[in-house]
Each structure stands twice: as structure tokens, then as C-alpha cells.
Structure 1
């Protein structure tokens, strides 16, 4: 007899979503930081 596959608990799914959100926030923050640094370098070089 085959056993039915158990679904993961709701708490595990919520934790995975939180990790994805944290990674997305980190990526957005890094991208924003790179843009700010690039603009600062361009302002220093052109002045």
C-alpha cells in the first residue's frame, strides 16, 4: 500500500516566504547602494 504524501506545515511555508523577502530586500539595497556610489563618483569626477 502506498502512503499519501504529507504537505509541509503552514509554518514551514511562511518561513520560506520570509527568506525570499529578505533576499529580495538585500538585493534591492545592494543595487541602490551601487547606484548611489556610482552617482557620487560621477559627481566627483566631473566637478
Structure 2
């Protein structure tokens, strides 16, 4: 009797972590750009 193979679980977890990392990196870059632009506008007032 052959044992049933389980579907690969590690790949799904890897993709989920990569998606979360991409969201965090994108969010932090957007926050940085927003902060720099606010400082530039504020310094010209």
C-alpha cells in the first residue's frame, strides 16, 4: 500500500511571507517619500 502524498505546504508559506515583505517594503518606501515631501513643503513656507 502506497502512502498518500501531501500537497506541498512550504511553497504557500513562502509566497505569503514574500507578499507580506513586499507590502512592508512598499509601505515604508511610500511613508519615506511622504515624509520627505512634507519636509520639503514645510521648509519652503
- Coarse TM-score class (shorter-chain normalised): 0.7 to 0.9
**Structure 2, unaligned runs of 5 or more:** 1-5
Aligned residues between the structures: 39
* TM-score after normalising by structure 1: 0.76
Q: Which runs of structure 1 show a deviation greater than 6 angstroms over 4 or more consecutive aligned residues?
A: none
The match for 1:11 among 8, 15, 20 is 8
Q: For structure 1, which runs of at least 5 residues remain unmatched after alignment?
A: 1-8
Task: Report the TM-score, using the length of structure 2 for normalisation.
Answer: 0.79
Tell me, in whole angstroms, the C-alpha distance in 2 between the residues paired with 1:10 and 1:17: 14
Pairwise CA distance, 1:10: 5.8
